[in-house]
Amino acid sequence: MFRPQPDLLPRIYSNLGVDFDERVLPSITTEVLKAVVAQFDASELITQRELVSQRVNEYLTERASSFGILLDDISLTHLSFGKEFSDAVEAKQVAQQEAERARFLVEKAEQQKLASIISAEGDSEAAILISKALGSSGEGIIELRRIEGAEEIAYHLSKSRNITYLPDKINAFITLPQ
């Protein structure tokens, strides 16, 4: 909203004409907007919108008063950026997401590596303990593991329907005619 300063109306009309607003406001608005926008980067224009609006208001009011125009209300209702800038922001966000994903994958690989190292150390310690047990108790531990393994196999085979039991002493292979 704007209005001319009443005491300066004769000078405004004689210097700028009746359409003073159309002659002055677009040019000073463009000038002030360019000056204020240049003080901020793109993200600050959005995050510090109130400060941007305040500065535009101050500078535009000051600039318009030099032409005898009073500004009652100024509001920035919409900020938009060009397609190139929007594309660049989108590309930057995609790159940041890809970098975050890469960091996650690296961290995951490091955790898997650490888990493998811990597992290998555990296997190594188990092998050392088994070796010591063999040395102190002989082949008994190996025989015990064989029996446990055979029991495990027998348990799983007993659950299957496709098992045929054959006696130990009979040749199970049938010779087929050729």
The structure tokens 């300066």 sit at: 8
Cα–Cα dist 97/95, whole Å? 5
This prediction has a pTM of 0.45
DSSP-derived pairing of the beta strands 69-71 and 2-4: antiparallel
Nearby residues of 11 by Cβ (< 8 Å), 6 or more positions away: 68
| Cβ atoms of 40 and 48 closer than 8 Å | yes
Q: At what angle do helices 49-65 and 20-37 cross, to 10 degrees?
A: 140
Q: Tell me the pLDDT of the chain (178 aa) as tens digits.
A: 777 777 877 787 777 777 877 878 888 888 988 888 888 887 787 788 888 888 988 999 888 888 888 888 777 777 777 788 778 878 888 999 999 999 999 999 999 999 999 999 999 998 898 788 777 777 777 788 889 998 998 888 778 777 666 666 665 555 555 5
At residue 122, what is the residue type? G
| Cβ atoms of 32 and 63 closer than 8 Å | yes
Cα–Cα dist 105/149, whole Å? 38
